[in-house]
Amino acid sequence: MRPIAQRYWDDVAEGEGLPGFSLELTMTRMVLQVSGTQDFYPVHHDREFARSGGHPDIFINTAFIRAALARLLTDWAGDEGFVRRLAFQMRRPHLLGDTIRVAGRVARRWLDGERAAVDLDVWIENPRDGIATPGSATVYLPRRGGRAG
């Protein structure tokens, strides 16, 4: 595992992209996400049940989506960063067999009193729908030279 470089507010530029990552939604990953989140509703692991409800297949749950977006933010912000806010909309499902892309972009950097804040547009996309889970976040970052952050 690679060490996460510390991100500093002073070095952030509006419009900058977050590196992001991709995940293949294999059957193993689907079962692990059900087990890990303890969300045993069958639409997340039983293909026949999901299809009988009108879904094309099983899909990842809310906790997995939240965790993927949180990983994006914490990987980008580094150990001294702090995720202040995360919001997202689940507009389309991410299905078994999809390779999802979790990504983001800096929307604004600003000072929240003494805190150095960054607003981000974040999202998860899949091959059918493009951006199926749009979101936004605010992250506090440290400043260079020991200034408040």
For residue range 85-132, list pLDDT tens digits in order: 999 999 999 999 999 999 999 999 999 888 999 999 999 999 999 999
Q: How many CB atoms lie within 10 A of CB 9?
A: 21
- The predicted pLDDT at position 147 comes to 57
Cβ pair 41, 58 in contact under 8 A: no
Q: Please tell me whether residue 135 adopts helix, strand or coil conformation.
A: strand
Domain 10-146 sits in CATH 3.40.50.720? no
CA distances from 115 to 5, 71, 109 (A): 20, 22, 11
Whole-number Å distance between alpha carbons of 95 and 26: 9
Write down the pTM of the prediction. 0.94
pLDDT band per the 50, 70, 90 thresholds, residue 76 = very high
pLDDT band per the 50, 70, 90 thresholds, residue 145 = confident
pLDDT band per the 50, 70, 90 thresholds, residue 38 = very high
Whole-number Å distance between alpha carbons of 119 and 146: 21
Read off φ and ψ for residue 64, nearest 5 degrees.
-65, -45
- Which residue stretches of 97-139 are H helix? none
- The predicted pLDDT at position 112 comes to 87
Residue boundaries of the structural domains of the chain: 10-146
For residue range 9-30, list pLDDT tens digits in order: 999 999 999 999 999 999 999 9
